[in-house]
Amino acid sequence: MKREPLDPLPLWLDLPPPRPRGGIFKPPPAEPVTRARPHDWRERMLEDMTLRGLRPRTKEHYLHAAQQLVRYTGRSPDLLTDDDIRAYFIHLHEERKLSASTLYVALNGLRFFCRHTLGREFAVFELLRVQRPLRLPVVLSLREVRTLLAAVRSPVGKMALTTIYALGLRLQEGLTLETGDIDAERLLVWVRNGKGGRDRGIPLPRPLLARLRRYWRDERPRAPSPHLFVAASKRPHSLHDTSLQKSFADARLRSGLAKRATIHTLRHSYATHLLEAGVTLRALQLVLGHKQLRTTELYAHVTHTGMERVHDTVDRVMADLCVSPARRGALL
């Protein structure tokens, strides 16, 4: 009797393969999945950091840390071992003598690279620790800030640095300010997509608003860009951070300022001046955009509030410290 052929199984019916007779069925071993192949690990890491929502500058630092590790070991990332990472950090500590902040960024970048891009856990990361010392920020006095700003040659650079100080901005926050960020009616400036992807409003001083209006009318290069600060060139574009840093360094030399100040020093000075004027730490935290209050508390260590009485007491106690013994006896 001739058998009729069986109808083929529908595609949605996913049955397991039949068990062979005479033994326990063992499925064939699965091929290992490689998270990051040697030729595409950089692209994979960039994708991982994008999915994680990291900022562009953080991406740049993390990718640089991974590239440095691969260059140091001279081998494919898939072949890295705990000893490789251990030896690399000893190299950074003992030979390159990198600062604690640089080591901290490298550690976080490599931990992200190994855990998320390579999909591997290394025991050495449980051992690695970076102790970051508490360094107080450099702060300029009110007079020093004004002397420094007066020494800036470029009108655009002077206005940009003045705005960064008057609003307590980070460098990139100042360079990306647009006309639409200024609320003249409410006297607020809105920082969009600041550190941590957060927006915040900052009180706009009336003198700064008047100065910005004069700058826009008389000094700003004509350009269709919405940015407040654009470079004066044949093809105007938004002011670059390197250009503003050069203007600041030149002004620091011209003003004779001895302190090791950077553009970020203007933000430190702004915070210290407000704290000394009576602004509370909580209010200052909101203005500066700090996620944690303990970050803002650092400025309490550099304020002069309450120190006047200490200075008077020290002067009185040490009054005869630097006089000759004969004069000291006469005073007694």
The pLDDT value given to residue 116: 94
What predicted TM-score, i.e. pTM, was given to this entire model? 0.69
Query: Which residue in the block uniquely carries the two structure tokens 């000094």?
Result: 219
> Are 130 and 93 spatial neighbours (Cβ–Cβ below 8 Å)?
no
Cα–Cα distance measured from residue 147 to residue 128, given in angstroms and rounded to the nearest whole number: 45
Residues in Cβ contact with 136 at an 8 Å cutoff, skipping those fewer than 6 apart: 298, 301, 302
How long, in residues, is the chain? 332
Q: What is the pLDDT of residue 291?
A: 86
Q: Kindly calculate the radius of gyration of the chain based on its CA atoms and give it in whole angstroms.
A: 30
Whether the Cβ atoms of residue 157 and residue 150 lie closer than 8 Å to each other:
no
Query: Do 266 and 164 contact (CB within 8 A), yes or no?
Result: yes
Separation between Cα atoms, residue 320 and residue 332, nearest integer Å: 10
Q: Does the CA dihedral 62-197-273-267 come out positive or negative?
A: positive
Rounded to an integer, what distance in angstroms lies between the CA atom of residue 174 and that of residue 167?
A: 9
Q: How much is the pLDDT for 261?
A: 95
Active site residues: 170, 195, 264, 267, 290, 299
Give φ, ψ of 107 to 5 degrees.
-65, -45
What is the rounded distance in angstroms from the CA atom of residue 229 to the CA atom of residue 209?
Answer: 15
Identify the H or E element spanning 330: helix 325-331
pLDDT at 13: 37
Please report, as a single letter, which amino acid is at residue 250.
D
Three-state secondary structure call for residue 258: coil
Paired tokens of 78: 């898939």
Strand (E) positions, 167-278?
182-183, 188-191, 200-203
Task: Please list the rounded mean pLDDT of every run of 10 residues in the chain (332 residues).
Answer: 48 46 54 54 93 90 94 92 94 90 92 94 90 83 96 95 96 93 94 85 94 94 88 77 95 94 95 90 91 84 67 70 62 54
Q: Residue 278 CB: number of other CB atoms within 10 A?
A: 8
CB atoms within 10 A of CB 103: 20
Q: Which domains does the chain have, with CATH numbers?
A: 41-127 (1.10.150.130), 142-225+237-301 (1.10.443.10)
pLDDT at 6: 46
